[in-house]
Structure 1
């Protein structure tokens, strides 16, 4: 079936179930950003492959809502589908709730699969539509009835993360969590976020591509805990570890019946943004529910000393791989055939040569010329550009290593550049440097600092429609709450927490000119303490990423002295950190590309 046929079949099923509008989100049952193949319902029904978006289907219309990272991609992929693109955040564009309120008749029925819609979203829809007496039907996974060859749930094996990498035992983490539960006066904590469960129990898996997590739910009480998982994924080492900390193992989907039988005297902690609507509605009426952030989110964001040591080591290895890639690209462009896809294969090949490499940390974004204007572009056989000895090439990539997770972007000049390209590149570089140099009092949040990165770009009358940076997990998700850089508090993601010592955050301003070019430069930053005096505790950043920034693309005259000094010191650090791992030709090349300007 093509997309039109799939939507029409869905509409037929909606009629059979008396559903007037049906929502298909991007989420899995755990509100994950990236999901396994089984859960890619929104991609199946729309053809849009981006990581974020929501489809709404009525009998008369179908729409896709997505954010600014994907406007260009979505417009291309929706062509011919009869699905309308709603550009989230743009003036005059209604959000999903407002659209449903305006388009649905009184006493009609809104449907969705309650296992893949968050409790927060479900409650918000129920409240928004209540004065029109619109019924919520969350029991039906209608996409499952349309999707004949739907993939199975993952059955990949899990592994235990050794203490020399985790830095803290699961017993210690459970104790910290239970102490926090006591402070909140709760007796039961329902956890559905895969990365939080993985961190808490020091287990990792392969159930979601690029995200080393295990499909599971966890319920923690003050004296015992329950892990809902396919036990066949767990080896003897994991089973012993779980037994030692009094974790009971139950089948993955048994969580719903288990929750229905929670004792009426329990006080339940959960985060409605991070559990699904079906879980919320399984909790017996009358039980006290405390809706609050999951404490684990804050625990895992502050990397411990062992994690930080390992993170730095993984970034050295990643820097070696990327520097070898940049050397290869610069020396072979125009001599051999290189395409976006072959460049993607090359960077992965070089990472696989590094000790402890597991897999890429996300799908590599490799965009030449105007393809780089699509922030999350992914080349296909139909779109794969051959790189020429001209213009700019953007590559955003990263790796999961046993000792950490990396994320780096460099935009590389493949030949002579126009004044406009150099001006745009230099503005992005200045923004990245300005944020890197920030010194601030404890208590500052990412939205207090974002303007440092955007000012050189805003001064050109240009903006980028995304945050400037995101938290990064430790051998976990590449996007991790609660820290980030963004000029506003986003309603769809929590990335505005106080910047704490040990947090790891990307710094990646950019310029994206549709039909022409895209530029992004990205390093990861570690929050650390600076001096403490009568003014308070000062904080600063330590750079974690080691790779040259392309001197061929910079207009040095546009850099001020402090920016030049930072760039020169950074390049000196890159050379001193990486040179011993390179051969003579690569080392000589790196010396040239890290020279003072």
Structure 2
């Protein structure tokens, strides 16, 4: 059994992470700093320089200023007003976490906002160049052209954040070949060949998932995801340089990377970029993720900028056999934990005493029985009854709700095992469902099965097959307002680009892509339904030039919510075959009441 080199993590906290009463004094302090700096408006994004889904506490500036803790948002703070822009996931959360007497909350479809209506004419709008991309700044500048001046500035939030937490400085783990499947040297060599084809002398990496994959390292710098935060410069010829906080650099790390990469302090990155510029190098940066500070430092010193997508993203999405073996093992381990949890849930739910938090902590406890489970891959969505209709619901001590007998329960969760990453959603019955609930559940299941059974020619994108999951809901005039699937990393981020199943994913699916398959239906104020498995793209057996999916997830689907009359023979065959596989693979790993429950839950229907 592989054990973790890191201390146990506390998977999930249910305490309120914000205090609206702190918004007023913090806005006042920020405005004082803005006035002293001659700034009329200051942008406060949720993002840090690495653009991760999670940020360390030291980078949570949006939460510090506004109280809002969601994973996407942007604040525009003026000397007399403040605006918080969020998407539809946070329509309820944002107003509850901030002081709405001082901060106006706006739901938008894109954080590339039109700031002009909120900015007075002939004023100065400032931003931190390490927290915004070139594209974001160009867009903002264009929209405010002739109206307001947009300028880069030192971060004014940092200047007033007196109790700011220290940056993370946790240990770094080196993945062995049995887990990575390819040496860092080979990955770097292949990357350098790509750089040559692109006419680039070097590439700058800022995304932690790209750096972690390229150098076969993992860390604990952010919650839920084993990231190491840092930067990297990879030349077309010669050794790369990793720029890290010196506190993370141990003799063991230096030994492991000896001959692979040089290690420098993160504060030396700017000088390295200036050197590239002085040598008139052509440098590739990803305009969708690299801070504008990096782009402007390079061009200011004389470098030629090549703006292209991070060249690691696609190779990383194509999992090799070692990575897939690890992902399969992670799902077997997760399947054991889920069997224990679902058996426990079926016993306890009818009593009407379970709470959303109690359900999360029970699931965490079952996963923690496996030593190689080191974290949750995201905060569990535990939605009882009407809370299940809130797509990205996060339970807290303030919102914790009792699950009443007869209600539908939605549990969307995942884990980080040392072997791989999992993500699974199950919608669970606690009593007799209504005809409408069974109809909607079965249509969602039919969509999930349609993706699972799909066979498609090479070159097909996730955007093209998204309709397969929606067709049965569309036929009855309903749909769901989220993607059908997102990419998943191999012991990396549970949300991984650049592939997925939704209109926004135009890239062709390729062998080794691991993707979620999660259609849903949500009736506001009443219930939510989502069924999710992870799948991996593979060559279609017996069909040259075609691809299909292999399901990775190994946990029963609740058949009590199915209207069997809506299933075709092919769909029923898929479901029974899936359950037989769950029984064959997980059954031998459990015993007693759990084994008896699993046998019943996976019986053919």
* TM-score band w.r.t. shorter chain: over 0.9
* Root-mean-square deviation (Å): 1.9
Return the match for 2:139 from 109, 115, 124. Answer: 124
Partners of 1:59 and 1:190 in 2: CA distance: 36
Q: CA deviation at 1:445?
A: 0.8
Secondary structure of 2:106's counterpart equals strand
Tell me the equivalent position of 2:535: 525
Shift in Å, 1:60: 4.5
Counterpart residue number, 1:252:
266
What's 1:301 paired with? 317
Q: Post-superposition shift, 1:511?
A: 1.5
Partners of 1:225 and 1:345 in 2: how far apart?
43
CA-to-partner distance for each residue in 1:245-284, whole Å, 9 max, x for gaps? 1x22111232123212323321101101111121122114
Which residue of the partner structure matches residue 421 of structure 2?
405
1:316–1:546 CA contact under 8 A, matched in 2: yes
CA distance in 2, matches of 1:81, 1:191: 41
Task: Please list the CA deviations of residues 505-535 of structure 1 after superposition, one character each: whole Å capped at 9, or x if unmatched.
Answer: 00111112222211111100100011576xx
Distance 1:342 1:593 in 2: 23
* Matching residue of 2:125: 110
Deviates more, 1:71-80 or 1:557-566: 71-80
Runs of 4+ in 1 over 6 A off after TM superposition: none
Unaligned regions of 5+ residues in structure 2, if any? Answer: 1-20
Mapping of 1:306-321 within 5 angstroms?
A: 306-321=322-337
Shift of 1:305: 0.8
CA contact (8 A) 2:115 2:143 kept: no
The aligned residue for residue 75 of structure 2 is 55
- The equivalent residue for 2:107 is 87
Q: Deviations over 1:194-225 (max 9, x none)?
A: 11101111110000011101111000112121
User: Post-superposition shift, 1:459?
Assistant: 2.8
Matched, 1:195 2:209: yes
Distance 1:441 1:101 in 2: 46
Counterpart residue number, 1:276 = 291
**d(CA) in 1 for partners of 2:41 and 2:284?**
32
**d(CA) in 1 for partners of 2:98, 2:522:** 21
Gap runs ≥5 in structure 1 = 90-94, 490-494
Q: CA offset at residue 75 of structure 1?
A: 4.0
Counterpart secondary structure, 2:370: coil
For the residue of structure 2 that corresponds to 1:387, the secondary structure is coil
Which of 458, 470, 491 is 1:442 aligned to?
458
Aligned twin of 1:6: 26
- Identify if the C-alpha distance between structure 1 residues 477 and 397 changes in structure 2 by more than 3 Å, giving closer, same or farther: same
Q: Residues of 2 paired with 1:309 and 1:96: CA distance?
A: 38
TM alignment of 1:143-162, pairs within 5 A = 143-162=157-176
2:596 paired residue number: 588
Is 2:282 aligned against 1:267?
Answer: yes
Shift of 1:88: 2.1
- Separation in 1, partners of 2:33, 2:439: 54
1:15 to 10, 14, 35: 35
SS in 1 for 2:169: coil
Residue 407 of structure 1 deviates from its aligned partner by 0.6
Which of 511, 514, 519 is 2:524 aligned to? 514
Q: Does 1:141 align with 2:155?
A: yes
Give the alignment's TM-score, normalised by structure 2.
0.92
Choose 386-395 or 74-83, whichever is displaced more.
74-83
- Asked whether the equivalents of residues 159 and 235 of structure 1 are also in contact (C-alpha less than 8 Å), the reply is no
* 1:346 aligned partner: 362
Contact 1:264/1:284 (8 A) holds in 2 = no
Q: 2:6 aligns to what?
A: none
Q: How much does 1:106 deviate?
A: 4.5
Do 1:42 and 1:54's aligned partners in 2 also have CA atoms closer than 8 Å? yes
Which residue is 1:92 aligned to? none
Which residue of structure 1 lines up, in the alignment, with residue 585 of structure 2?
577
* CA shift for structure 1 position 178: 0.5
Give, in whole Å, the separation in 2 of the partners of 1:283 and 1:128. Answer: 25
